[in-house]
């Protein structure tokens, strides 16, 4: 009984303070955007989907766009963090970094060239390499989503400062 009351009280405090879990879509304060991605950037489609879900009108050209988002480069890296006693990988880290810049409608740089980065660490099961490979694939999808959300948050912060809409 006390435990249930404690959990209910804790939930009420979290709701009352405005806490909410970070979702997969961030609201934006811009009307239209053009996303230009280099051929090696996997984040382009995730970013355009997230912007579209947020109500941003995506244009086919930079003409008339409130902002132009240039995805310039992407780097992916997997590194071993620890080894087993048999000298096989026990723990790995995935890293994804995307270099981007954002320009406003008046060709003014809202965000200069910078990197958005995300990492994930996971255990490698040498007895289940297929499962470990699937886990790595799922984590890569999370990294792509996280980097896209970082770019959207940067866009929101930059347009809030300048008042671009």
pLDDT in tens, 63-89: 989 999 999 999 999 998 898 888 888
Q: Structurally, how many domains does the chain consist of?
A: 1
What is the C-alpha separation between 71 and 69, in angstroms, rounded?
A: 6
pLDDT over threshold 70, residue 43: yes
pLDDT digits (tens, 9 = 90+) for 81-114: 898 888 888 898 999 999 999 999 888 999 999 9
Q: How far apart are CA 69 and CA 109, in angstroms?
A: 10
Which is more confident, 44 or 11? 44
For residue 110, what is the domain's CATH number? 3.30.160.150
Q: Determine the pLDDT at residue 159.
A: 84
- Does residue 89 fall inside a structural domain? yes
- Interstrand relation of 89-104 and 57-58 (parallel, antiparallel or unpaired): unpaired
Residue at 78 is within a domain? yes
The yes-or-no verdict on residue 127 having pLDDT over 60 is yes
Higher-confidence position of 9 and 121? 121
**Does some domain include residue 1?**
no
- Give domain status of residue 81, yes or no: yes
Q: Which domain holds residue 103?
A: 26-162
In a domain, 14, yes or no: no
**Would residue 9 count as lying in a domain?**
no
Q: What is the rounded distance in angstroms from the CA atom of residue 124 to the CA atom of residue 68?
A: 40
Considering the domain boundaries, does residue 150 fall inside one? yes
Domain assignment present for 2:
no
């Amino acid at each position: 009984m006390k435990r249930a009351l404690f959990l209910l009280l804790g939930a009420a405090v979290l709701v009352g303070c405005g806490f909410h879990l970070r979702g997969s879509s961030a609201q934006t304060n811009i009307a239209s955007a053009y996303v230009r991605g280099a051929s090696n950037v996997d984040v382009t489609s995730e970013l355009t989907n997230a912007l579209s879900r947020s109500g941003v009108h995506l244009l086919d050209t930079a003409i008339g766009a409130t902002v132009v988002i240039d995805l310039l480069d992407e780097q992916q890296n997997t590194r071993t963090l620890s080894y087993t006693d048999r000298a096989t990988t026990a723990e790995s880290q995935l890293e994804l970094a995307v270099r981007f810049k954002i320009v406003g409608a008046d060709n003014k740089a809202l965000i200069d060239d910078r990197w958005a980065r995300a990492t994930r660490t996971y255990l490698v099961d040498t007895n289940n390499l297929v499962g470990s490979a699937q886990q790595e694939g799922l984590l890569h999808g999370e990294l792509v989503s996280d980097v896209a959300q970082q770019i959207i948050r940067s866009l929101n912060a930059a347009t809030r400062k300048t008042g671009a809409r």
